[in-house]
Amino acid sequence: MKPRNKFEKEILKASESLKPISEKQIKWGYRHAVSHFGRRNSDGTILCAECGHRYHTSGKGEHSICPKCHTRLTIGNNPRQRKFKEQDYFAVVDTCKGYQVVRYIMVYHTATIGKEPEYSHCEVMQRWIAPNGGKVTFARMRQTLGTMYYDLWIPSSELTLRRENQIYGYIETPFTYPRMNLLPMFRKLGLKNGTFGIDPQRLMDYVKDNNRAETLLKVGQTKLLKLFMDDTAKDIENYWASIRICIRNHYKVTKASEWCDYIDTLKYLGKDVHNAKYVCPTDIIKAHNKAMRKALNIAEMEEISGKTPEFLAKEMRYKMAKGMFFGLIFTDGEITVRVIESVKDMVLEGKAMHHCVGTYYDKAKSLILSATINSARVETVEVNLDTLKVVQSRGVNNQNTPQHDRIVDLVNSNARLIKERMTA
């Protein structure tokens, strides 16, 4: 395409002095942008397609490090596969005549067992960015006829100024050559520290007009940054107060999606999301799961108090099945054991005792009773309605209490009263 304006003319002129991609950069791309292959043979050995070395390993994973050439191999498990192929991009971030240039190089890799691995490359696209934000694209032609792929580049075509096409925006790579040349405006945004598996151009665009993102990049909260870039349903503002606490406490978020989930849950639980005690947990997975369990309990409570039709139906079923036992009370003067008379009480019992009796309301063969001393819960008792025997009696956290044997005896000795209710 011929340049249509002064800006395009200037860039076309500048492009004449752009240096070719260096040998060192290409070598880096061959190493990092594509997988290297190994094959697991039927005898369990691994054949490295990179150097031809065959070695034994106890590992069964998808990846393995070749002990000879130290390449990280992606392992194919078909012992008959001879050929492995992959292609992918890497980016080189460069400057030229006062413009920022993001260059995309496609690496083509073929590994054939018993042969030297083959690598080739082709620089397929350049995005030229002016300090004022203007952009133009240099690209090769793509094969578009009869294919749904948008990146079948034609290496023999010319890398030249092309009319903008949204396809160019789809070309992305997590692999960026680590030594980047940056215009001062991008250097100032904190981009000099790397791209952290994010496409460099996308990262520049995102950080440029977003102070929050710029801060995340500068303080190294790159997992969070990547999450907010990828998950547009998440609003960075909702988390900002907590993120500031993390930054102040030098707490690095390593599992961004779990962390955001966790913060949402803390809010739901009414916890202080400005408090480092909550916001910076040592073990995020553990803290996340704990908060989640709590939130689920609350949801359960809301179900009970809200009297949803589903919950009322549960109550109804329970009453039909176990109503004949309601009102049964055994006592030895100190311990009182009574039948639990509603699903709601069953759920409350389970919550208070930290065990799962709350789900027992629909067990046809079970009768659940609560043992108390002076109205305080001691154990929860399950009686099998066929044998009329106590099948379990558990205190808090499923532990037995000092009163355990007395409770079991009290219920077993009153089994006759249960029986009477069944035949009445």
Site for Zn ion, rule CB under 5 A: 48, 50-51, 53, 66, 68-69
* Smallest distance from Zn ion to CB 63, Å: 13
| Helix segments in 231-280, DSSP class H | 236-248, 256-268, 276-279
* Smallest distance from Zn ion to CB 49, Å: 8
Q: For Zn ion, give the closer residue by CB, 63 or 188.
A: 63
Residue 68, amino acid: K
The two three-digit tokens of residue 324, written as one number: 């004949």
Per 3-state DSSP, the chain is made up of helix, strand and coil in percentages (nearest 5) of 40, 25, 35
Q: Give the helix/strand (H/E) hosting 217.
A: helix 211-219
How buried is 16 (Cβ within 10 angstroms: 0-12 exposed, 13-18 middle, 19+ buried)? exposed
Q: For Zn ion, give the closer residue by CB, 4 or 72.
A: 72
Q: For Zn ion, give the closer residue by CB, 52 or 220.
A: 52
Q: For Zn ion, give the closer residue by CB, 14 or 51.
A: 51
Using an 8 Å Cβ cutoff, are 235 and 242 in contact? no
* Smallest distance from Zn ion to CB 90, Å: 22
* Smallest distance from Zn ion to CB 48, Å: 3
The two three-digit tokens of residue 423, written as one number: 């035949």
Q: For Zn ion, give the closer residue by CB, 57 or 401.
A: 57
The rounded distance, in Å, linking the Cα atoms of 70 and 50 is 10
The two three-digit tokens of residue 266, written as one number: 């803390």
Q: For Zn ion, give the closer residue by CB, 68 or 82.
A: 68
* Smallest distance from Zn ion to CB 86, Å: 17
* Smallest distance from Zn ion to CB 83, Å: 17
The rounded distance, in Å, linking the Cα atoms of 412 and 389 is 6
